[in-house]
Amino acid sequence: MNKQKRYYGFFALLTNQKMDAITAFELYHNKDVIENAFGNLKERLNMRRSLVSSEQSLEGKLFVQCVALIYLSYIKKQMQVSRFFKNYSLQGALDKLDVIKCFEVPGPKIQPGEILQKQYDIYDGQGIALPTSL
């Protein structure tokens, strides 16, 4: 039993590049983020079916979704740097921010609705100014 417990919770990563163990683990772990990002594409960004009428529309939709994935990757990296994962998961933080509503008012700007304390904490924890208009 002790011999088996010695390797419990360990795994090996093989690569053809030189890197330290932490970097290799982070790269491996980011694979999960990419898989979740494609899940987000399917669910949050409605990419399960393309539902477009032209190739140009499909290209535009794919472009916007790729930009969204870039932002998602950036947010995850910032959460790692600021150690924000102690309080929130990436999905949890996005779910908390997802419910902020926007309202059209006369004029060129769109106004955000009420921002709750937990949402404010997420913005503040990441060093991002609260949205005043979009």
Residues 47-57 have pLDDT tens digits of: 666 677 888 88
User: Read out DSSP for 12-71?
Assistant: ----SS---HHHHHHHHHHHHHHHHHHHHHHHTT--SS---SSHHHHHHHHHHHHHHHHH
Residues 99-125 have pLDDT tens digits of: 888 888 787 777 788 888 888 888 888
Work out the percent of the chain whose per-residue pLDDT is above 90. Answer: 0
Q: Is the pLDDT of residue 70 over 70?
A: yes
Write out the two tokens for 88: 């929130």
Residue 103 confidence (pLDDT)? 80
The pTM of this model reads: 0.58
Residue 1 confidence (pLDDT)? 72
pLDDT band at 134 (very low <50, low <70, confident <90, very high): low
Q: Work out the average pLDDT over 15-44.
A: 79
Q: Work out the average pLDDT over 67-79.
A: 81
Least confident of 3-12, 22-31, 75-84: 3-12
